[in-house]
A and B are shown apart, each in its own frame.
With several copies, the nearest count.
Chain A
Amino acid sequence: MVKRYISKFYMILMFIFLYAPIAVLAVYSFNSSKSRGAWGGFTLKWYVELFNDRDIKSALYYTILVALLSALISTIIGTISAIGIHNMKHKQKALILNINYLPILNPDIVTGIALMILYLSLNLKLGFLTMLLSHITFGIPYVILAVLPKLKQMNKHITEAALDLGATPLYALRKVLLPQIKPGIITGFLIAFTLSIDDFVISFFTTGSGVNNLSMVIYSMARRGIKPTINALSTLMLAVVLGLLLLINKRSSFDKKHVKKVGK
């Protein structure tokens, strides 16, 4: 009982730590002064301005599109590769994993510039595609790292049982293996998505004209002080996601109750 309270308390502390800066930036989205340093009174003008800013809208679109696509593709490639890596012999596995660590280890600017030179020498036009490829490249290693522990935990006899019952490896993968490593896959997706949303340097060097993401907009604003419109945007995004979460939570708890009733 006491333990439950302690863990609840700890959890709340942790969430305060995580959300304190977010709260600050949300508050500043209502600050009529343009500068982060001073409070100039309450205003909604940044929200109004947000809807009139063409660059932010297009950047938001590309940010979400690239994040979703790259996270999805990284998750697919990463998960499949992780399964392969899991089945490798020790030496091979070590080699592949070490190479896999490089994008995680390399500073973004090195990756960004190196990829840019790569694309150009491949005669790829910098733009949406190259940016997407780059995001996939740095997403996959994280997905692999997220999926591998779950694979290691898995009982191999269960996959064998599926094959035994006539499941092709692909079917066994879909119906037996994936459901079991699902937490790892979801985690991998979340990490890849998060990294993609947050990436600036690599995106900058590998994108082309007209395709910008929010991070690029924000970093480029830094010199003059980031406009509170961005805070407004962040606050809105947060609100939307939180709202969705609340909705899902309500739905699923409703479903549960419902099922229980029917069950009786």
Chain B
Amino acid sequence: MKKKIIELKNITKNFNDETVLDNINLYVNENEFVTLLGPSGCGKTTTLRIIGGFETPTEGNLFFDGKIINDIPPYKRQINTVFQKYALFPHLNVFENIAFGLKIKKLKKSEITYKVNKILKLVGLENFCNRDINSLSGGQQQRIAIARALVNEPKVLLLDEPLGALDLKLRKEMQIELKNMQKRIGITFVYVTHDQEEALTMSDTVAILNEGVIQQIGTPVDIYNEPKNAFVANFIGESNIIDGIMLDDYKVMFCNKVFTCVDKGFSKDENIDVVIRPEDLVITDENKGLLKGVIKSVIFKGVHYEMLVNAEDFEFMVHSTLKFPLGSNVGLTLTPEDIHIMKKSNN
């Protein structure tokens, strides 16, 4: 059985009477990779700061290895953090920044040098040892911040958007490196990212936050394929969310048409949200489609074109590697599996 290493129980946090975290419940198993995902200002950093010991929860308890650690100071927690704004020591150079934690542990000099150099290589900054922190580019600083935390091989590592300033290429490399390291050394990761793909790729578990409330916790596939509500669906990937009515099991009506779907168990004629991923919609000849529409805009996205198709008064976002001319009349088809039905969320 897996061991819970960190557990947040009914954690609430107020700043000046404003509730920033509202009754958060979340646990992290040993060696697990948990990602917090949510829009800007939803409380991700605050959650990490509570785990790291830089904020005390207004209410609720924080457990580490089963013991309450609300009042344990940061330096006594076996947790290291990669801060969102790097927080590198300006008076120390690159080497000294990374060696900081090791020096505290009183490691031998040779060992420190060895470890620092190794980690510098990992983040691709071998020759930056003696560089002044302020002369580094944004991405270089971020990599130093990662290296500084990683080199300590902590039990739990909190990472607040650690790859935000890196380009796709490097980000992918670092993602793989981080993931490998996590598995190899057996570190538990609590990861904050604003990159949905990153969250889905790397995590064992994803927790979606909105306005201080946890919306859904689950595996990446669960979250993506079975979003609990429209917010999650919309947030985790681009989605078309259409008002619909569940006529019967496996029978849903939206855009004035009746479709077959794979969902059941709703009450009859219940108002629901229909979620359709842009990549699940296929553009066809006007008369072959289930819906008829007009191409309203076409944007080149590299991998695919993103097109808005106006059909039955709804603007469907469609991803396709084929480009259709603006203004042309097209049809839209989709399979029953691609229609996701979800209950209306209260707001």
Contact = CB atoms under 8 A, between A and B. Distances in A.
Chains A and B in contact, CB within 8 Å = yes
Interface of A: 155, 157-158, 160-169, 171-172, 175-176, 179-180
Nearest to A159: B87
Contact of A155 (B53, B87, B152): B87
B91 A157 contact: no
Tell me whether chain A's interface is mostly helix, strand or loop, or mixed. Answer: helix
B75 interface: yes
A166 B53 CA distance: 12
Contacts of A166: 75, 80, 101, 104-105, 152
Given A167-B75, A168-B75, A162 B89 contact: yes
Contact of A160 (B79, B87, B90, B148): B87
Nearest 10 A/B pairs, CB to CB: A165-B101, A157-B87, A163-B74, A161-B87, A179-B91, A163-B75, A164-B81, A166-B104, A158-B87, A166-B75
Contacts of B74: 160, 163-164
Most interface-central of A163, A166, A176 (chain B CB within 10 A): A166
B54 interface: yes
Contact of A180 (B80, B83, B91, B105): B91
B85 interface: yes
A165 to B, nearest CB: 4
B83 A165 contact: no
B79 A164 contact: yes
Given A161-B87, A176-B89, A171 B73 contact: no
Nearest to B81: A164
Contact of B80 (A155, A165, A169): A165
Contacts of A176: 89, 91
B57 interface: no
Contacts of B53: 163-164
Contact of A158 (B54, B81, B90, B104): B90
A264 to B, nearest CB: 9
Most interface-central of B53, B54, B79 (chain A CB within 10 A): B54
B83 A161 contact: yes
Nearest to A171: B104
Contacts of B81: 161, 164
B219 to A, nearest CB: 29
Given A158-B89, A160-B83, A176-B91, 16 more contacts: A155-B87, A157-B87, A160-B87, A162-B89, A164-B54, A164-B75, A164-B79, A165-B101, A165-B104, A165-B152, A166-B104, A168-B75, A169-B73, A172-B75, A176-B89, A180-B91
Contacts of B75: 163-169, 172
B100 interface: yes
Contacts of A165: 75, 80, 100-101, 104, 148-149, 152
A163 B104 CA distance: 11
B73 to A, nearest CB: 7
Interface residues of B, number: 23
Nearest to A165: B101
B52 interface: yes
Contacts of A175: 100
A157 B91 CA distance: 14
Contact of B73 (A155, A161, A163): A163
Contacts of A171: 104
Nearest to B158: A164
B347 to A, nearest CB: 26
B56 to A, nearest CB: 14
Contacts of A169: 73, 75
Interface in B145-176: 148-149, 152
Interface string B35-60: 00000000000000000111000000
A171 B73 CA distance: 14
A128 B234 CA distance: 76
B45 to A, nearest CB: 11
A167 B77 CA distance: 11
Contact of B90 (A162, A167, A168, A180): A180
Contacts of A155: 87
A176 B96 CA distance: 12
Contacts of A157: 83, 85, 87
A158 to B, nearest CB: 5
A176 B90 CA distance: 9
Contacts of B105: 166
B190 to A, nearest CB: 13
Most interface-central of A157, A168, A176 (chain B CB within 10 A): A157
A168 to B, nearest CB: 5
B7 to A, nearest CB: 20
A106 B88 CA distance: 41
15 contacts: A155-B87, A157-B85, A158-B87, A161-B87, A161-B88, A162-B89, A164-B52, A164-B75, A164-B149, A165-B149, A166-B152, A167-B100, A168-B75, A180-B90, A180-B91
B203 to A, nearest CB: 22
Interface string B185-216: 00000000000000000000000000000000
Nearest to B49: A160
Nearest to B104: A166
Interface string B286-313: 0000000000000000000000000000
A163 B75 CA distance: 5
Interface in B104-157: 104-105, 148-149, 152
